[in-house]
Amino acid sequence: MTSHFGRCALSLCAVAAVLTGCGAMRQGDNALPIGAPGTAAQSARSWMDPGATSQDLLYVSDTGTSEVYVYSYPSDKLVGTLKDFRDPGGECVDKSGNVFITNTGDDAILEFAHGGTRPIATLSDPGYFPFGCSIDPNSGNLAVANNSASSGSGQGNVVVYTHAKGKPKGDYTDPNITQMLLCGYDDKGNLFVDGFTKDNGFAFAELRSGGTTLTNITLNQSIASPGGVQWDGKYVAVGDQSTNVVYQFSISGKKGTKAGSTALTGAAEVVQFWIAGSKLIGPDADGADVGIWKYPAGGSTLKTITGLYVPLGATLSEAK
């Protein structure tokens, strides 16, 4: 399968435009059923069930509708919808349960309190298409992978917001990575990022804790199309959205050694995933749903959340 991201350069359009051919919802056979998230049957404003704040919440960004859907977890009941996005992409969460969502089409990252319906902060990312994000568990810094310059030219980069506030600091680029996609911190504050080379190949790099440059990492497993990047507690998990396999790597120096793999059976195209203990939550952009698999065992889905359109990102915010 050819990845949506590989079909054209994201520097020419927003992520959603690449995925769907336009920024708006397609009509016809693939239209959402009445009453599903994102349709007129739901409220025209952001909403949240009053009891949502006392529950663990799963946030799923849908670039096809430019909305973010919130589900109780693990019951997977729709308890809220966040609106007023423009092509929402990757998501991440801090220790307080605050959720960060890259608003790719508006050069910004929005922060929401657990169960909140309005942003408590908007972080500007001028001149770029932000897509991936991750919170350093030690410092609380927010790293954002900018896919490309929003001007339509220029390569992507990684920027860091100190304590997830203020203006972005640093401009970490890699001549080997033209388009940054997703990123993830490990438990020591090292940041890993994947993306595309100028020839639409896979590339992977590390910004070491306290470092000022990205170091290219060679993995001993071929990955056709970059997907999610997340620390699973022991290994750096890296997804291949072309094959829907998540690989676990042990990183040493400039090399990554495969320690295992998780096949997401039945998935069509998982871009970002979220590992929650013994489960992996995978928004399926081509399947218009969200699958939940055993992790790291993989195999068939345990559950599937249906009724979405082009889901791209996910994160789990735990009730405090």
pLDDT digits (tens, 9 = 90+) for 177-188: 999 999 999 999
Q: Give CATH superfamily name and number for 5-317.
A: TolB, C-terminal domain (2.120.10.30)
In a 3-state reduction of DSSP, which class is residue 238?
Answer: strand
Q: What is the pLDDT of residue 128?
A: 92
What span, in angstroms and rounded, lies between the C-alpha atoms of 60 and 36?
14
Edge-to-edge strand order for the sheet containing 191-196? 179-185, 191-196, 202-207, 214-216
Vertex 271, ends 266 and 274: CA angle to 5°? 85
Q: Please compute the mean of the pLDDT values over residues 69-97 and round it to a whole number.
A: 97
Average pLDDT, the chain: 89
Per-residue model confidence (pLDDT) at position 150: 78
Spatial neighbors of 308 by CB under 8 A, at least 6 apart, are: 32, 36, 37, 38, 60, 62, 64, 69, 283, 288, 289, 290
Q: What is the DSSP letter of 5?
A: G
CA pair distance 218, 221, nearest whole angstrom = 9
pLDDT in tens, 158-214: 999 999 999 998 889 999 999 999 999 999 999 999 999 999 999 999 999 999 999
Which pLDDT tens digit goes with each residue over 74-84? 999 999 999 99
Domain ranges, ordered by start, for the chain: 5-317
pLDDT of 152 reads: 66
pLDDT of residue 43: 67
Contacts of 293 (CB under 8 A, 6+ apart): 262, 264, 265, 279, 280, 282, 299, 300, 301, 302
